Amino acid sequence: MKTVYIYITVLFLTLTACVDNPNVTEEDFLENNNSATSWIMGIKRQLALTMNAIVINSEMVSDNYFNNYTLYNKVYDIPQIDYTDIDGNSMQVEIGALREMAEYALETVLPSDPDATAQQWSYAYFAKAYALILSGENFTGLPMNSNGEAYSPSELLDASLSYLDLAIENESDAETISAYQLLKSRVYRSLGDRANAKSFAQTVISNTSLLFTVEFDGTNGVPNEIQNATFTASENRFAPLPRLDFLDPKFFDIGTAAEDQKPMALAKVEEAYLILAEAYTAENNLEMATATLHDLIDNVLSARPVMYLDDSEELRNGTNRQDYPTTAVDVRFESGQEFRSGYVLDRQADLIPVYTVSGTSVSHLAIDAAENVDDVLYLIYLMRQEIFISEGRRSNDLGIKFPVSQTEQLNNPNISDEFTVPVIPSFIPLELGLDDFTVDETTGNVTMLYDMNRVLVANKTSTHVLPFN
């Protein structure tokens, strides 16, 4: 891996102008007074690159967005996921680079720099943990070390916890500590550990403005790619599922796009409320579950920023499908349900609201109308879908996992064939069904083919989804 390390070092030092000589050696770099600072900045850059790869592909393979311009992967919308696919390999490469850069910081850079701070150590531990979290959430398995054996999702997630503990131990900023505790709650939820997931969620729930983000840099070649796909690009590349239209775009730019790249949430307190509500449903405590959802709306979502944007250039004019509604029409989530308004916006009529952190269609009335566990679970997963849109979380909620790539297997003899097969649960519609809808020729109203949150609840006993059930 030394070749990779030196390449990353040279690339980063060139960008930050820490040295004049682009042929700097590893030894030269480690002797530099700013080596720890430079390397941590490089890890932050790599985290942004990693999130770009994860978010674009996981949003596409889910029911959140349809690739309406063919620029990105051509088959993930089906969903068809092959271990030969270069996009799946690219996701692994970026996660691997993040993991290896974090390891190199912990093993070499930080110990070599007497000026390295505790917070720099903390961030390196966090980066290692987050690489493992992304591995466990999105893949059938991945190595924890270069050319190592592949570990299962639960093993990867479990391994992240000790690194999060070390990140917390070395961190002094209370807000950042809360973010890392929330990540622990997220991991414990994925592992099905309800008690620990609840405990860490309760630790942070009072911090109603908690928001931990990754930053992007359009002027130095690391733009927010989902922002580009949903707003900046003139081709309108990604089209949201029509019932999610009111939440698109989450990220936008005004003026020069390169200079206005929006950050993306990696951890936000909304998740603590959702985890607690889900845990209470598993305990059949509907009173606490619904009260938690009410509190989420009142204490958090109502205070999140709402921007108003001229989005009149958004014409949903991709070339793959041309019947996306562009005026305000009614939507129903599947055939047989009632039509609802407010989900598709008329972007030509006025400025549209943009929920830059979180938004939801779920109201207090909808929560009060929930009569049983399944009704509450349905609202929780609808809120998870809406609140985390454009953040790369939905495919994991659907139980979809990408396989270890052919490239990794060819270069790593420790990868067995079992990891090269994707996980697409049997209840996931194929043949583009996840994103499909029909349009009434007379009214223009839209009907989704599948209400996937209802499908998830119906399959709550599956090992692939709803980890507390």
CATH of the domain at 189: 1.25.40.390
Beta-bridge mates of residue 353? 308
**308 token code pair:** 């108003």
Q: Is residue 7 part of a domain?
A: no
Residues in Cβ contact with 321 at an 8 Å cutoff, skipping those fewer than 6 apart: 66, 68, 239
**Tokens 């014409």 belong to which residue?**
315
Q: Is 20 exposed, middle or buried (0-12, 13-18, 19+ CB in 10 A)?
A: exposed
Q: By residue range, what is the domain housing residue 184? A: 33-458
Taking a C-beta distance cutoff of 8 angstroms, is the pair 125, 30 a contact?
no
Beta-bridge mates of residue 297? none
Q: Is residue 469 part of a domain?
A: no
Q: Is residue 268 part of a domain?
A: yes
Number of domains in the chain: 1
pLDDT at res. 22: 55
Taking a C-beta distance cutoff of 8 angstroms, is the pair 237, 77 a contact?
no
**Tokens 């029409």 belong to which residue?**
329
Q: Is 394 exposed, middle or buried (0-12, 13-18, 19+ CB in 10 A)?
A: buried
Q: Is residue 173 part of a domain?
A: yes
pLDDT at res. 266: 98
Q: What is the largest CA-CA distance in the chain?
A: 72
Pick from 388, 462, 451: nearest CA to 423: 462
For the CA atoms of 219, 221, 224, 225, what is the dihedral angle to 10 degrees?
140
Pick from 117, 118, 127, 121: nearest CA to 106: 121
Q: Is residue 2 part of a domain?
A: no
Report helix, strand or coil for 50.
helix
| Amino acid, single-letter form, for residue 137 | E
**345 token code pair:** 């916006």
pLDDT at res. 28: 67
Q: Is residue 394 part of a domain?
A: yes
359 CB-side CA count, 13 A: 21
Pick from 359, 52, 70: nearest CA to 239: 70
Q: Is residue 19 part of a domain?
A: no
pLDDT at res. 16: 41
Q: What tens digit of pLDDT does each residue of 326-359 get? A: 999 999 999 999 999 999 999 999 999 999 999 9
pLDDT at res. 185: 99
pLDDT at res. 463: 98
| Amino acid, single-letter form, for residue 330 | D
Q: Is residue 1 part of a domain?
A: no
In this prediction, the residues of the chain whose per-residue pLDDT falls under 50 are 1-21
